[in-house]
A and B are shown apart, each in its own frame.
Chain A
Amino acid sequence: MADSSMAASTAGANPRRPLAGAGTSHWGEKLIKVFLALCAAFSVLVTTGIVLSLVFPTISFFGQIPLAEFLLGTTWAPAFAQASFGVLPIVVGTLIVVVTALAVSVPIGLASAIYLSEYASSRVRKVVKPALEVLEGIPTVAIGLFAFFFMRPLAEQLFPFFPWDTPFSIGIAGVAVGLLIVPLVASVSEDAMRSVPAGLREGAYALGASKMRVSMRVIFPAAISGIIAAVVLGTSRAIGETMVVLIAAGAGNPNLTFNWFGSAQTMTAYIGGTATGDISQGTVVYDTIFAVGALLFSMTLVMNIIATRLVRRFREVYE
């Protein structure tokens, strides 16, 4: 009631504007709205499609292999004569890659972001920022080859006392993945830091804070939600990265291993290495790909949910 009387009085103040909606523009609006809604629905549909395509082979897989055996077993050898379906070895392989990649990319990425956002002159920033974005686009195959032919041999020469028992190394693959995602972490968190209002920066400088203190105590916490987003994006990339691991970490060891220096397989590398032309539909091996895919999907989902919570919890609101 109050609303309509308000509307009437506003309209009254503006007598030349017609109150009734003009036909054509109204239809145009509707058309645009429908089109936009369809676009939004499209991505939802695609996601649903992906989930469904994972679901049916996964159900078929768990019809044959008990869930507990899959999740708790420590030998992963689906294609062996003496087949075994314990997924832990490749889950651990994935975790080694992710943790290593984050250990490399988070410190380097955040340090670069702080440098670019708070220390670098605008001239330096104008050169470095686009360079970072180019680095983001380097083909992962190239990085995989670099890791296998250069980083791994170099690492053995520098540190010969570690157990480098094969030409492959899951840890080196993790370092390479870390280098791969440095630009992503740096550029997303730099954006977050740059968007902290200039007034906060000035307020801190005016209290006699040094550049380091302003960066660490004011800018960093104010940008924390964007920084967490950067780390989450980096983690997702690390979990999903296939090619580098396929090349540099080798085919792995069917048994659970924590040897950072030796060969191991990740979930994605297993999928990528197994889903080739000569795999026949309906076999258990075929279904494993989807079961592992479904597990990967759930892990990423859980991680994203945790990250969303974190962002909400630590966000320092400024308006």
Chain B
Amino acid sequence: MPDNGEHVAERTAPGGVDTASPEETPVFSLRDVSVSYGDHLALAGVNMDVNAREVTAFIGPSGCGKSTLLRSLNRMNDLITGARVRGELLYKGADLYAPSVDAVQVRKRIGMVFQKPNPFPKSIYDNVAFGPRTVGMKGDMDGIVEKALRGAALWDEVSDRLRDNAYSLSGGQQQRLCIARAIAVEPDVILMDEPCSALDPVSTVRVEDLMAELKERYSIVIVTHNMHQAARVAERTAFFSVQVDDAGNRIGRLIEAGETGTIFTKPTDKRTEDYISGRVG
């Protein structure tokens, strides 16, 4: 595998299977992106690309702006009063924050899975069908629901009780339901904010296996505080940290981003190395 994201154009897909090759333009290109909440600058000066059909992990100590950055990728931050994104944030080459762009349309293409499973208090079926109905997908809804549930490796467990309330499922099943709900609209990208942090180890493994399958079709960005998880699931990893400026403000910074293997074995920055080796929590 090539070791450097900047030379993506020269890559060839392994084994001649090139349906989901990462040669396309990056899904996200960030140039000097910063995010603030009111006068509080939470994250500054982020430059990075996110490749298509790969898993990209955001790691770093708590409060360094991982969720903040993730939520600006599908304009969820628009919902927070006072939140403001500056810099250039391109989605497939188009400015995500251009005045003509409708945040609602953005979220139809860029789905999200949250830290705490948040199914709607509706039936399993209606949870999955919510998105397709929202975006006005035509055709056989039963088929769409089944496909999404299979995609989230949940179908076999729930096929005989689709009308049951989603809250009758276990936490791990609920999170996979939320993933099914997100993929039911066939988005381009799935953003996941610590999707396993509320799950037991067995459910965590299932969700991780699922990510490996999903990246064949979707681009995935995952925030995780679990470095082993990043190492297991992600092709590329971005390490963030908090920098305290002269005035005592705590500002999140991207320290380095690259292939996961490189980040974990040969980090170029001392802070990454300290974090990886567990010297900084």
Given contact pairs A205-B76, A209-B134, A318-B167, A121 touches B112 in the complex (Cβ within 8 A): no
User: Which A residue sits closest to B107, measured CB to CB?
Assistant: A208
Give the residues from 69 to 89 in chain B that come closer than 8 angstroms, CB to CB, to chain A.
Answer: 74, 76, 79, 81
Within 8 A of B (CB), among A209-227: 209-210, 213, 217-218, 221-222
**A residues near B130, Cβ cutoff 8 Å:** 204, 207, 209, 217
Q: How far is the CB of A208 from chain B (nearest CB, A)?
A: 3
**What sequence of 0s and 1s flags, for each residue 100-135 of chain B, a beta carbon within 8 Å of any chain A beta carbon?**
000011111101101010111110000000110011
* Residues of chain B within 8 A of A317, CB atoms compared: 121, 165, 167
Residue in A121, A199, A213 whose beta carbon sits within 8 Å of that of B134 in the complex? A213
Tally chain A residues at the interface, Cβ within 8 Å. Answer: 23
Known: A208-B104, A208-B131, A208-B135. A203 touches B76 (CB 8 A): no
B178 within 8 A of A: yes
Cβ-neighbour of A202 out of B106, B114, B122, B167 (below 8 A): B114
Q: Within 8 Å CB of B107, what residues of A?
A: 205-208
Q: Is B185 an interface residue (CB 8 A)?
A: yes
The main secondary structure of chain B at its interface with chain A is helix
0 or 1 for each of B46-76: is its CB under 8 Å from A? (1 = yes): 0000000000000000000000000000101
Q: How far is the CB of A121 from chain B (nearest CB, A)?
A: 7
Q: Is there a chain B Cβ closer than 8 Å to A122's Cβ? A: yes
| A121–B81 CB distance below 8 A | yes
- Find B79's partner among A205, A217, A318 (CB 8 Å cutoff): A205
In the bound complex, how far is the Cα of B122 from the Cα of A221, in angstroms?
A: 9
| In the complex, B182 has a CB within 8 A of chain A | yes
Is B104 a contact partner of A203 (Cβ separation < 8 A)? no
What residues of chain A lie closer than 8 Å to B185, measured between beta carbons? 207-208
A199 to B119, CA, bound (A): 9
Q: Does A197 contact B (CB under 8 A)?
A: yes
B121 touches A208 (CB 8 A): no
Residue of A nearest to B133 (CB): A217
**Bound complex: CA A86 to CA B269 (Å):** 91
Q: Kindly state the interface size class of chain B when it binds its partner.
A: 20 to 34
Q: Looking at the complex, which one of A199, A209, A218 makes contact with B104 (CB distance below 8 Å)?
A: A209
Contact flag A218-B134 (CB < 8 Å), given A202-B114, A207-B107: no
Tell me which of A203, A208, A210 contacts B120 (CB under 8 A).
A203
**Most chain B Cβ neighbours within 10 Å, of A205, A207, A221:** A207
Q: Are B111 and A200 in contact (CB under 8 A)?
A: no
- Across the two chains, which residue of chain A brings its CB closest to B79? A205
Q: Provided the pairs A122-B81, A206-B107, A208-B135 are in contact, do residues A199 and B120 lie with their beta carbons within 8 angstroms? A: no
**B81 and A202 form a contact (CB under 8 A):** no
A202 with B121: in contact, given A208-B135, A208-B185, A317-B165 (CB under 8 Å)? no
Cβ-based interface call for B225 (8 A): no
Q: Say whether B236 faces chain A, with CB atoms less than 8 Å apart.
A: no
In the complex, A221 Cα to B121 Cα: how many Å? 8
Interface residue? B253 (CB, 8 A): no
Say if the beta carbon of B181 comes within 8 Å of chain A.
Answer: yes
Tell me if A133 is interfacial: C-beta within 8 Å of chain B. no
Q: How far is the CA of A197 from the CA of B165 in the complex (A)?
A: 17
Q: Which 3 A-B pairs have the closest CB atoms?
A: A208-B108, A316-B121, A199-B118
Interchain Cβ contacts under 8 Å between A and B, 22 examples: A197-B118, A200-B118, A202-B79, A203-B119, A205-B76, A206-B111, A206-B112, A207-B111, A207-B131, A207-B134, A207-B135, A207-B182, A208-B104, A208-B105, A208-B106, A208-B107, A208-B109, A209-B104, A217-B130, A221-B121, A222-B121, A319-B167
Additional A-B contacts beyond A207-B130, A207-B134 (6; CB < 8 A)? A197-B118, A202-B76, A208-B104, A208-B109, A316-B165, A317-B121
